[in-house]
């Protein structure tokens, strides 16, 4: 990965709504080069999508989140990939990681209510033949996500004018 790609990703992660003209100025490269680099990163799956970081707690939407540890039996030839796919195809499952340690997969699961989430675990997840055990941890509060602090107390404390 070259410096331009890193620079662009750093800027886009801070604000992905900046127009190409500004990205070109900020990186000191031509508009065409920047457009092409971004387009390539999109094609290569480096940039998957441009989405806001949302604090759902401040919205009216009902939402329950849980981290679920899952132990599974890996399958011949396919290892964990096939069972991971069986799991990530569920809409409720937002994130799936293969982990080292006491369990195999870690899921971030979302549902509207506690009941819905419990229903998902008991009827959809646990019943998969390769799943040998689960442990569900409900999220009580989100402090920081993707590098963004949700209730940032670090307001700008600088003097407005300073020599």
Partner 1 sequence: MSFDPERYVNQSVAAVPKSGIRKFFDVAQTIPGAISLGVGEPDFVTPYHIRNAAINSLLDGETAYTSNLGLMELREEIARYMEDRFQLRYQPKDEILVTVGASEAIDLALRALVNPGEEVLIPEPSYVSYAPGVVFTGGVPAPVPTHAGNGFQLEASELEKRITDKTKAIILPYPNNPTGAILTRENLEKVADVIRRHDLMVISDEIYAELTYAPEGHTSIATLPGMQERTIVINGFSKAFAMTGWRMGFLCAPAYFTGIMYKIHQYTIMCAPRQGQVAALEALRRGREDGMADVRLMRESYDRRRRLMVSSFREMGLDCFEPLGAFYVFPSIAKTGLTSDEFCTRLLKAESVVCVPGTAFGASGEGHIRCCYATALDKLNQALDRIRRFLSTL
CA dist., res. 78 & res. 147, Å (int): 33
Residue 105: phi, psi to the nearest 5? -115, 145
- Cβ neighbours, 10 Å, residue 64: 16
Rounded Cα distance between 70 and 103, Å, is 6
Looking at the Cβ atoms of 146 and 156, the one nearer to partner 1 is 156
Q: Which of the 8 DSSP states describes residue 74?
A: P
Query: If binding is defined by CB under 8 A, does position 129 make contact with partner 1?
Result: no
Q: Would you say 100 or 154 has its CB closer to partner 1?
A: 154
Q: Which long-range contacts (CB under 8 A, 24 or more apart) does 154-160 make?
A: none
Q: Does 160 bind partner 1 (CB under 8 A)?
A: yes
Antiparallel, parallel or unpaired: β 144-145 and 93-98:
unpaired
Alpha carbons 138 and 135: distance in angstroms, whole number:
10
Contact residues for 142 (Cβ-Cβ < 8 A; gap 6+):
55, 57, 65, 150
Residue in 16, 20, 25, 54 binding partner 1, rule: CB under 8 A: 25
Stretch touching partner 1 by CB under 8 A, among 14-22, 51-59, 74-82, 88-96? 14-22
Residue closer to partner 1 by CB (options 25, 139) is 25
Residue 100 or 162: the one with the smaller Cβ distance to partner 1 is: 162
Least distance in angstroms from the C-beta of 148 to partner 1: 13
Q: Is 28 in the site for partner 1 (CB under 8 A)?
A: yes
Closer of 15 and 146 to partner 1 (Cβ): 15
Question: Of the candidates 18, 46, 64, 128, which one interacts with partner 1 according to CB under 8 A?
Answer: 18
Query: For binding to partner 1 (CB under 8 A), which residues are involved?
Result: 7, 10-11, 14-15, 18, 22, 25-28, 154, 156, 158-163
């Amino acid at each position: 990965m070259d410096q331009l790609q890193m620079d662009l990703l750093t800027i886009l992660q801070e604000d992905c709504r900046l127009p190409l003209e500004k990205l070109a100025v900020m990186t000191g490269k031509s508009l065409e080069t920047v457009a092409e680099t971004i387009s390539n990163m999109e094609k290569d799956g480096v940039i998957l999508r441009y989405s806001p970081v949302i604090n759902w707690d401040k919205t009216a939407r009902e939402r329950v989140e849980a981290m679920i540890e899952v132990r599974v039996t890996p399958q011949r030839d396919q290892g964990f990939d096939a069972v991971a796919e069986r799991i990530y195809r569920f809409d409720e499952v937002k994130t799936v990681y293969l982990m080292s340690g006491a369990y195999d997969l870690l899921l971030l699961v979302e549902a509207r209510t506690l009941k819905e989430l419990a229903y998902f675990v008991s009827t959809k997840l646990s019943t998969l033949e390769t799943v040998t055990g689960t442990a569900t941890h409900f999220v009580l509060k989100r402090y920081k996500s993707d590098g963004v602090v949700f209730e940032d107390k670090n307001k700008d404390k600088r003097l407005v004018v300073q020599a």
